[in-house]
Amino acid sequence: MDLTARVAMVTGGSSGIGRAVCLRLAQAGARVVIGYRGNRDGADTTAQAIRDKGWPEPATVRVDVTDAEDTQRVFGHVVRANGKLDILVNNAGVGQPSAVVPMNPVGEWAASVETNLLGTLHCIKASSLHMLVARSGSIVNISSIAGRVGIPGLSSYCASKAGIEGMTRALSREFAPYDVRVNAVAPGYTADTGMVDRIDDKRLREFLDRIAMKRLADAHEVANAVAFLASDEASYITGHTLVVDGGLTA
């Protein structure tokens, strides 16, 4: 996959899957803009890892994807600084427990939807005009197997990720006339991510037993799927969600 001279914006690039995506896109030749909200040190670590490899010089930007105005401002700056935006990877997300019980406030449940679903929408709105005018671009949204199967206690996270997949399908049809592709990647349980870190050992063993390949994903395996969909190798793929779960949902 050759992404030479492409400009890629990756939200949530400070750690985990986001960091792996930044590294993979840079390895393929893209100039990566690493978006972060609170973890500046993590974003700087991602940027330094790219520099250490001698790949195209990265940049870091703070962006709060829940704030539409801030997102619009930051993306405008990115486009002005680079002259274009070829790739958007919507990876920023949260996954806090959100059981639906009478005592829990709705605001607590809605937090995942605000960041994961509305945050993705804000980023697409902020970047799509530039892509639509250029009649070129690739948007890859990070979903989850939680958008396809029910996980007790994570209903808001499941709802937000299912919403991302529905929005991906709809926007792929809206943007196709302008040669802008919209796809998603749905990772399963991935090592060294917050999703796995919050699971106790007993439950993790139960999950591993259900995974056909009997192991967790590595973040670079998810990043490979993202890079593929972002590249010209996937030029006839749009509106698709690529599941990377080792056969868990097969």
Closest CA to 114 of 139, 96, 128, 87: 96
* Counted domains in the chain: 1
For residues 145 and 249, is the Cβ–Cβ distance under 8 A?
yes
Residues lower than pLDDT 50 in the chain: none
- Inside any domain, residue 165: yes
Alpha helices in 95-235 (DSSP H): 106-112, 119-134, 155-175, 194-197, 201-210, 219-230
Write down the pTM of the prediction: 0.94
Single out the catalytic residue among 157, 178, 189, 236.
157
The answer to whether residue 250 is domain-embedded is: no
Beta pairing, strands 59-62 & 180-187: unpaired
Type of residue found at 67? D
Structural domain contains residue 2: no
Give phi and psi for 24, each to the nearest 5: -70, -40
CATH of the domain at 213: 3.40.50.720
Say what the pLDDT of residue 99 is.
60
Residue 209 counted as domain residue: yes
pLDDT in tens, 63-76: 999 999 999 999 99
Is residue 178 included in any domain, yes or no? yes
Closest CA to 126 of 113, 137, 111: 137
36 is catalytic: no
- DSSP type of residue 223: H
Residue 31 falls inside a structural domain: yes
Domain for residue 149, yes or no?
A: yes
* C-alpha to C-alpha distance for 230 and 194, rounded to whole angstroms: 25
CA–CA gap between residue 142 and residue 94 (Å, rounded): 12
Q: How many CA atoms lie within 13 A of 88 on its CB side?
A: 31
Domain that holds residue 64: 7-244
* Position 168 in a domain: yes
* Burial of residue 102 (number of CB atoms within 10 Å: 0-12, 13-18, 19+): exposed
Give the integer Cα–Cα distance in Å for 162 and 122: 17
